Chains A and B, each alone.
Chain A
Amino acid sequence: MKPISEHQPSEACVTCPSRQGRLQKLGLRVDDSDFVIALAGNPNTGKTTVFNALTGLRMHTGNWPGKTVGRAEGGFSYEGKKYRMIDLPGTYSLLSASPDEEVARSFLLFGKPDVTVIVVDASCMERNLNLVLQVLQITRRAVLCLNLMDEARAHGLEIDTRNLARDLGVPVVPCAARSGEGIADLLKEISLMAARADDPSPRKLPLDVRGLTQALDKVEADLLEVFPGLPQPRWVALRLLEGDREIIDAVQSGEIGNLVDERAMPQV
């Protein structure tokens, strides 16, 4: 397969390790992409650094939570496929309602990305895994990017990535995006996940609340009857049972049905 871009890469690019998998950074050229990749994670875990490493863009990164408030888009091509990548604002959970977290949540829920790359800070796994588990409730097509491995090592932390991957049921790639470490592996896992025909089955949360499973089954079935093709019906059902005002309103107005196939979210 031939690379899409016509210009000849410089020598530095040819010898660059990330080129082993023929990465072409497409910058802002995101037309007619084959796959849509979402980049999610807690604030200040280096999502934007990963985004820049893959797309060749230079969005400014900052060392404070909440730097990215809108949505940034970029593209890259790898092994002949074109990928459109969306850098979402960092969130601690998917349950809150500030405008930046809403952007992330709506896109993960209704944008139906082909792969969601969850970027976590390897030096504080426990806090970051909260969001990971919530994202995995929504989508099974995910890759975990264990970023800031250099910092974790400096803190004297060791992470058993194979164990972690088995526990979560999704691929785990250790990275240090600032220095480019692990980006080649990340690309490979993204492309493998994007090309998968079936959905992998990551570990689902044991929601051991009496009666919850049955209630969820009922509401989910109802939702699918009213809104056929609704993405993530089980998550929506859970939000309804929790009384999430915003989701209730979206069902009430039928707006949730409009979101069935919508990829375009408000642009910043």
Chain B
Amino acid sequence: MKSKDDVLKEAGELRWQLPQDLHDRIAESIHGEAARIAGRSVTRSGGDRRLAWQQALDRLLTHPLTAFPIMIAVLGAILWLTIVGANVPSAMLGSLLVDKGHGWLSELFVSVGAPWWLKGLLVDGMYLATAWVISVMLPPMAIFFPCFTLLEDFGYLPRVAFNLDRMFQRVGAHGKQALTMAMGLGCNAAGVVATRIIDSPRERLIAILTNNFSLCNGRWPTQILMAGVFIGTLAPRGWGGSIAALSVLAVALLGFGFAMLSSWMLARTVLRGEASTFSLELPPYRPPDFWKTLYTSVIDRTLIVLWRAVVFALPAGAAIWLSANVFIGDQSLAAWFVHGTDPFARLIGLTGVILLAYIVAIPANEIVVPTILMLTVLVTGAAGGQGAGVMFETDPGNVRAILEADGWTSLTAMCLMLFSLCHNPCSTTIYTIYKETRSWKWTAVSALMPLVVGFVLCGLVAAVWRSLS
């Protein structure tokens, strides 16, 4: 009876009797056979109508001079469309769900004689958090995702990867990282899973660790709101939308820069190695099926991501309300934390409220802004609030007034935008990173590295800002 080792031994010995270049010769014979079979069955008749414009388009989209301006312009256009287009439906949803819906539910609870804490927990906490998330998130997502999917179906993404490949090579990472980062723009967890297309474990790890620098969907609303409420108002009348879009674009590009920088640092230190080569197929451009794409991206992506946000907003809403209404001594839990961390947070251009909001929002970044507003009212007692633990309407003027009451300036908004880019990933992404790497060490690195970058970055910006003004 033979054993496993005998099999391997025999195979090993036989291997030496075979030609050295066995692998190449087998690959060659496969290629030769494929060419012969194709040659016998495929005939080209007539000219090719489509090749000409496809090649012209490729030349334009991947040309060293035009490729980068076009990429940035395309991303900028999508952002502008999202910011400008989402304003009106967001305000409508806000007035419907937050203003009217909340008032109506409150009356209902009062009229049936529900205890104050039950109404507080369910209506002021869970319902409002959910209503906020839907009105802030749904419109931008319903614009951003379909735009992105249309580009994807058209075949633009591989060209982006092709353009960025050289930059990634230079920093010692894999060119396909460009594709996974593009996926990260939608969702970092999806981006991390997408790194499976990278064969080298070293480069795959770099792609996983740096994916968080792709501004994910949950963070777009924070960026868009901050840019619209604070940065946009710095611009002359009529230019607010464009300036806001540009500032978000700048943050997104900064994220790309950080991804490159951290990839470079990782590739020079702990994850040293040669960049591996790969062949990237540039698929033909295909006209996307507009309505079908719209349908699938709304049903399969927008609603799924929204559902996730709602599922997390419900308990988070309850947690926020409780933290604002459970007292230890003379202060609520939330107030203890906020007052405790405020000095440090102010030093780096943020506020204690922002730090607490980011802890509450670990499960879903989408709820950061609602949480900040609610906590700010709690701490400052700003006008417009409806009692401890209540979030309220989305009117930009009102948002600005509440935040300014807590001492916010354009610096705070800018630092929040930067911190939103550079902080730990959401819990889903962290879990996904663990599942993909099977290593607590790398999971911890991926969670802490952006946080450290965020603190340092905000601190630097705050220091420079203060020395200038």
Contact = CB atoms under 8 A, between A and B. Distances in A.
Interface of A: 43-44, 58, 60-66, 69-70, 89, 95-101, 123, 125-127, 129-130, 132-134, 151, 154-161, 163-164, 167-168, 178, 205-212, 215, 218-219, 222-223, 225-226, 237-238, 240-243, 248, 251-252, 254, 268
B59 interface: no
A251 B22 CA distance: 21
A65 B48 CA distance: 23
Given A133-B34, A164-B41, A60 B296 contact: yes
B155 A98 contact: no
Contact of B41 (A125, A210, A222): A125
Interface string B21-35: 011011101110111
Nearest to B5: A252
Given A99-B196, A167-B41, A223-B7, A155 B50 contact: yes
B199 A44 contact: no
Contact of A130 (B11, B23, B34, B152): B34
Given A156-B48, A240-B11, A123 B41 contact: no
7 contacts: A60-B301, A63-B283, A65-B281, A66-B197, A154-B49, A209-B19, A215-B17
B10 A248 contact: no
B330 interface: no
B441 interface: no
B29 A208 contact: yes
Contacts of B2: 222, 225-226
B212 to A, nearest CB: 19
Contacts of B301: 60
A241 B15 contact: yes
B197 A60 contact: no
B325 to A, nearest CB: 42
Contacts of A210: 19
B40 interface: yes
A100 B436 CA distance: 12
Interface string B100-134: 00000000000000000000000000000000000
Interface in B1-20: 1-8, 10-11, 14-15, 17-19
Nearest to A123: B284
A46 to B, nearest CB: 10
B14 A219 contact: yes
B266 interface: no
Given A130-B31, A133-B30, A215 B14 contact: yes
Contact of A251 (B7, B26, B49, B198): B7
B307 to A, nearest CB: 16
A58 B300 contact: yes
A227 to B, nearest CB: 8
Contacts of B7: 219, 222-223, 226, 240, 251
A268 B193 CA distance: 9
Contact of B196 (A65, A98, A123, A207): A98
B45 interface: yes
Contacts of B196: 69-70, 89, 98-100
Given A64-B155, A95-B27, 6 more contacts: A58-B296, A58-B300, A63-B158, A66-B176, A157-B42, A207-B29
Interface of B: 1-8, 10-11, 14-15, 17-19, 22-23, 25-27, 29-31, 33-35, 37-51, 149, 152-155, 157-158, 161, 176, 179, 193-194, 196-199, 204, 280-281, 283-286, 288-289, 296-297, 299-301
Given A97-B199, A100-B196, A215-B14, A163 B41 contact: yes
Contact of B300 (A60, A98, A205): A60
A133 B37 CA distance: 10
Contacts of B299: 58
A96 B199 contact: yes
A240 B8 contact: yes
A44 B14 contact: no
B54 to A, nearest CB: 10
A151 B22 CA distance: 37
A60 B37 contact: no
Nearest to B10: A222
A155 B48 contact: yes
Which residue among A156, A218, A225, A268 has the maximum number of chain B CB atoms within 10 Å of its CB?
A156
Which residue among B31, B41, B153, B299 has the maximum number of chain A CB atoms within 10 Å of its CB?
B41
A240 B4 CA distance: 12
A151 B33 contact: no
B50 A64 contact: no
A161 B42 CA distance: 9
A167 B283 contact: no
A44 B17 contact: no
A123 B54 CA distance: 14
Contacts of A151: 284, 286
A240 B179 CA distance: 34
A116 B188 CA distance: 33
Contacts of A225: 1-2
A218 B14 contact: yes
A226 B44 contact: no
A218 B12 CA distance: 12
A205 B29 contact: yes
Nearest to A178: B289
B378 to A, nearest CB: 41
B17 A63 contact: no
Contacts of B152: 62-64
B41 A69 contact: no
Contacts of A243: 15
A154 B50 CA distance: 7
A254 B38 contact: no
Contacts of B8: 240, 248, 251-252
A156 B45 contact: yes
B42 A158 contact: yes
Contacts of A163: 40-41
Contacts of A178: 289
A156 B51 CA distance: 10
Contacts of B280: 65
Contacts of A209: 18-19, 22, 25-26, 29
Which residue among B3, B19, B199 has the maximum number of chain A CB atoms within 10 Å of its CB?
B199
B177 to A, nearest CB: 12
Contact of A160 (B25, B34, B41, B149): B41
A159 B33 contact: no
Contacts of A98: 196-199
Contacts of A100: 196-197
A65 B158 contact: yes
A251 B5 CA distance: 8
A62 B157 contact: yes
